[in-house]
Structure 1
Amino acid sequence: MKSKLILVEGLPGSGKSTTARLIHDILIENGVNAELYMEGNLDHPADYEGVAYFTVEEFESLLARSGGLGNTFQDRVLVKNGRYLLPYIKIKTELGDKFSEDLLAEICQKDIYELPLELNIQVIAESWAGFAEKAETENKVYVFECCFIQNPVTVGMVKYGAPVEVSIKYVKKLGDAVKYLDPLLVYVKQEDIERSFRKAVGERPEDWLKGFIHYYTSQGYGAEKGLSGLDGTIEVLKARQQLEYKILEQLTMPVSILDNTKFNLESHRESLRKVIMGENAIEGNMQ
């Protein structure tokens, strides 16, 4: 197939995780060398998950305060364009109690997705460009779940309450970075956002919901609108979907919007197969 990158997007509870896995399975069944990266993958080749950003001075200060972990941090840090990028969640997972909670909390504040928005955009866009340069030479199709639109919109609109144009420009910047991979975007939608999200809430841990509500209502767009609780979170999600639709309209890559409201595994799989294997026109193309 022509595309080397398939992007799967949609709101929480829309079915994007299932969709991403189905796409990967379809590619493998058709003899395509494919690699799937789900949300939260600490080894994501384009995005950053659980990675902290430091200047050289900040990193040297961290080493001086890290005791026996200093050598580990120095061995594991990645230096790009004078930036020191530390995969702290991977290190914490590997070391357990040897990595103190106090030190973890301190480093968390330097997470790439806690950076000021303009710096976050710069760091993430550079990473996507580096990924694209490598992927262009490979005989492989990458499938990414939710980091292309979701992360820019979440940090831009939800976290910082940035103007719509800022989030649109952020996503288009990532799109420009990967354009030579001939990307295809599959957007999974639900007609009833409230119903699908409440269903997702019932399937996930309570701590996840508490963290989600806090993130969506205590800052940025939610705080500006005075929203709170589960109902307020759903209102933010509705606004987020409207922004994502605007983004889809402005992308130059092929976009397929699949309505997953009445989910049927076999029919959904068949729709995906036709889209990604090029057997029919892209459904819901918003070019």
Structure 2
Amino acid sequence: MARRLILIEGLPGSGKSTIAKMASEILIGQGKQVQLFQEGNLDHPADYEGVAFYHAEDFKALLSTHEDYREVLESNAIAYDQNFLIPYRKMKEQRGIDLPDQVLQDIFSRDIYEIPFEQNVKLITEKWQNFTENLLRTDDDFITIFECCFIQNPLTMGLVKCNQSKEQNVQYVLELWRIIHALNPLLIYIDQQDISYTFDKAVSERPKEWSEGFINYYTNQGFGQAQGYQGVPGTVQVLQERKMLESEIYGLLQMNKVWLDNSDYDREVSRRKLEKILK
């Protein structure tokens, strides 16, 4: 069976973006046609980025609250099973629509990664199902590469934000695997053995706003808050718990998979490993 999908996973700062680009380059060099979707892609075919979900009655309330922006909200909303999706980041970044902070705050509170866990699972699994069905209907021989949306995003929602049980988090990812198994996917997990060093490196290389937002997200809600974790040490603790759960899920997934150690951040070594993996 031809491989249609490659999944790149790992903790923040592990090198997922670099490895995903490298995998794309290697496959293109082999004469393959490749579609690469990295973290933050506003047109991701199997995930949502900067999209809010509204039940019909809640959408009516939003329009009533912000009557001056009714027309722009109605014209950009996407009907979804008698409900509505608002692609607020695409509205701003691709369509140049500037909404007041209060309107954006109200919309962000309904982001698909801010809503209750059960609603998130339903919307995300449906999106993966549609992606898989659409890909299977085509004769294109593209290989699609996804960065971080298969394991990271479900666990960020289920563990980090909502502190769901281990069983619920495991079942979330296993359900995505059941959906995509017909695509003969390959999972490449990028490992970093020293999580504290990896996070410190990411903090030193990225804007201060990123590290402050990340630490706040990981310690002031969900699992981190329940454990009383704080600051950089607390964030590292949550990341360690996340890795333990990701390792367990990795072992449960009955699919083609590779655990790639990138602790040394050696690009040439990683490229040689990838070339062997992607033969």
TM-score (norm 1): 0.92
Deviation at 1:69, TM superposition (A): 3.5
Structure-1 separation of matches of 2:173 and 2:98 = 38
User: CA distance change for structure 1 residues 57 and 176 in 2, over 3 Å: closer, same or farther?
Assistant: same
Deviation at 1:167, TM superposition (A): 0.7
Letter in 2 for 1:197: F
Computed over aligned residues only, the root mean square deviation of the Cα atoms, in angstroms, reads: 1.5
Deviation at 1:223, TM superposition (A): 0.9
- Alpha-carbon deviations, 1:97-148, whole Å to 9, x = none? 7311110011000001111111110110000000111112232111010011
Structure-2 separation of matches of 1:43 and 1:69 = 24
Structure-2 separation of matches of 1:38 and 1:94 = 17
Deviation at 1:44, TM superposition (A): 0.6
TM-score (norm 2): 0.95
Structure-2 separation of matches of 1:246 and 1:83 = 36
Unmatched runs of 5 consecutive residues or more in structure 1: 278-287
Deviation at 1:199, TM superposition (A): 0.6
Mapping for residues 144-159 of structure 1, pairs under 5 Å: 144-159=146-161
Structure-1 separation of matches of 2:97 and 2:20 = 34
Structure-1 separation of matches of 2:99 and 2:175 = 36
Structure-2 separation of matches of 1:60 and 1:156 = 29
- Are residues 1:208 and 2:210 paired? yes
Structure-2 separation of matches of 1:221 and 1:149 = 17
Match of 1:218 in 2: 220
Contact 2:50/2:111 (<8 A) preserved: yes
Match of 2:255 in 1: 253
Deviation at 1:196, TM superposition (A): 1.2
Deviates more, 1:56-65 or 1:130-139: 56-65
Letter in 2 for 1:202: S
- Alpha-carbon deviations, 1:56-84, whole Å to 9, x = none? 11222223344454333323322232231
Structure-2 separation of matches of 1:139 and 1:201 = 39
Structure-1 separation of matches of 2:4 and 2:23 = 13
Select 1:191's aligned residue among 190, 193, 204.
193
Other structure's SS at 2:113 match: helix
Contact 2:91/2:97 (<8 A) preserved: no
Letter in 2 for 1:236: V
Match of 2:78 in 1: 78
Letter in 2 for 1:103: V
Letter in 2 for 1:200: A
Deviates more, 1:160-169 or 1:63-72: 63-72
- Are residues 1:45 and 2:45 paired? yes
User: CA distance change for structure 1 residues 179 and 80 in 2, over 3 Å: closer, same or farther?
Assistant: farther
Deviation at 1:39, TM superposition (A): 0.6
Percent pairwise identity: 43
Query: Number of paired residues?
Result: 277
Structure-2 separation of matches of 1:259 and 1:76 = 44
Match of 1:27 in 2: 27
Match of 1:15 in 2: 15
Match of 1:60 in 2: 60
Letter in 1 for 2:215: I
User: CA distance change for structure 1 residues 104 and 199 in 2, over 3 Å: closer, same or farther?
Assistant: same
Other structure's SS at 1:223 match: helix
Deviates more, 1:62-71 or 1:10-19: 62-71
Other structure's SS at 1:187 match: strand
Structure-1 separation of matches of 2:184 and 2:79 = 29
Structure-2 separation of matches of 1:251 and 1:149 = 11
Structure-2 separation of matches of 1:79 and 1:203 = 40
Structure-2 separation of matches of 1:27 and 1:118 = 37
Structure-1 separation of matches of 2:268 and 2:20 = 15
Match of 1:234 in 2: 236
- Are residues 1:118 and 2:111 paired? no
Letter in 2 for 1:113: Y
Deviation at 1:95, TM superposition (A): 5.6
